[in-house]
Amino acid sequence: MKKYVSLIPITLLIFALVGCGQTEDVNGSANGGNKKKETVKEASALNENKEPETPYAPVPPSKDAKPLKDFSADSKKGKASSKDQNSNHKRKVPLGQTLMAGKKDLSNGPLKKYRLVSFYGTPISNKMGVLGESSPEEMMKKLKKQAQAYSNADPSRPAVPTIELIASVAQRDPGPKKLYISHTSKEIIERYAKLAKDNKALLILDVQLGRDSIMNEVKELEPYLKMPNVHLAIDTEFHVGKGQVPGEDLGHVNGANIQKAIKYINNLVKKDNLPDKIVMVHEFQKGIIKNKSLIKPTKHVEVVQNSDGFGRAKDKKYKYHQLVTEQTNQYGGFKLFYHEDQPLLSPKQVLRLDPSPAVVNYQ
């Protein structure tokens, strides 16, 4: 009996110790759970702050490529002239610089270091640009060759191959929704998005608007704009009002509405932790964009004001001076037409524009 009595305190002690151990385990588990939650939150925060991976790669210049200053036509010693070679105005920025004088780029977008060289059009028509003139694979080969020419012309700013696909095509037929546009199919957009991704290129989706609003078209493209290598372009001349028809009536866009789209995409970048984006605004002639001064870049969106239209080289240079040199808020773009321009400017001639175009697109 004494034996059992003597064991009781020991047994109680064991139970007490086990109980304490269980209590500590439970508390420890609870604390561990809190720590895990904190770790997940920290990891999530780190992921949000982590710089997104670069989804593109420039075409490197050839080994024998010469610096841009070496082909200045105004200087035997290869120094850039203080005056633009294509007009009598004094240059606003040094030869080759793409960022407009006095402007800043607070983003980490492609244009800080590189130039985009793009092919514009749609594969459903061979009358609307390079994309419809050959197979996607053949087009990509030509695009890389054209980008190589610009990397060689300015080795300090290698060119990134870029596809500019028309996502909404303006038309004279009103269509079922009376918007005078036809949307490019999901299959085509996804095919070119994959083509760009596989070739470390960029894809710009161009909207021609018709009677639709900019924001409606941007929201329509949101699933694609969430892709790391996809950007936006707005063709302003095709935005018409009631009683007007694109292609017959010259359209107009308010800069305030363009800025809404820029801010929308800026928020999209922040929300989804995307690489910084580009919004390119095509302008055919002065006056198409009202309140142009309202169009401004943001922390996550670079803005390109693109001088559009074909014609004589002299006229195109003057138009660029009007639409970009005198009015741009950040970067300039310049469109060339393989079959219509007279003559077709060479990469070196294009890069002498003031500022040097950050985006060069071919149709």
Q: Which of 251, 198, 264, 199 is nearest to 225 (CA)?
A: 264
Are 9 and 100 in a shared domain? no
Are 28 and 112 in a shared domain? no
Are 92 and 238 in a shared domain? yes
Are 33 and 72 in a shared domain? no
Are 34 and 147 in a shared domain? no
Q: What is the distance between the alpha carbons of residues 221 and 156, in angstroms, rounded to a whole number?
A: 33
* Sign of the four-CA dihedral 184, 188, 189, 195: negative
Are 229 and 314 in a shared domain? yes
For residue 56, being part of any structural domain is answered with no
127-177: pLDDT as tens digits? 888 998 999 999 999 999 999 999 999 999 999 999 999 999 998 999 889
Are 14 and 95 in a shared domain? no
* Sign of the four-CA dihedral 186, 224, 60, 113: positive
Structure tokens at 280: 């390119």
Residue 8: pLDDT over 80: no
Task: Provide the pLDDT confidence category of residue 73 given band limits of 50, 70 and 90.
Answer: very low
Q: Which of 2, 94, 107, 99 is nearest to 52 (CA)?
A: 107
Structure tokens at 326: 């005198």
- Give the number of residues written for the chain: 363
Residue 25: pLDDT over 50: no
Domain count, the chain: 2
Q: What is the distance between the alpha carbons of residues 193 and 342, in angstroms, rounded to a whole number?
A: 33
Are 222 and 109 in a shared domain? yes
Cα 15 to Cα 23, 24, 114, distances in angstroms: 12, 14, 72
Are 115 and 153 in a shared domain? yes
For residue 62, being part of any structural domain is answered with no
Q: Record the pTM.
A: 0.82
Find out whether 268 and 244 touch, Cβ atoms under 8 Å.
Answer: no
Which burial class, exposed, middle or buried, applies to 149 when counting CB atoms under 10 A from its CB (0-12, 13-18, 19+)? middle
- Rounded (10°) CA dihedral 96, 98, 104, 110: -120
For residue 63, being part of any structural domain is answered with no
SS3 351: helix
Are 182 and 288 in a shared domain? yes
Q: Which domain holds residue 41?
A: 1-50
Are 15 and 79 in a shared domain? no
260-293: pLDDT as tens digits? 999 999 999 999 999 999 999 999 899 899 999 9
Are 303 and 355 in a shared domain? yes
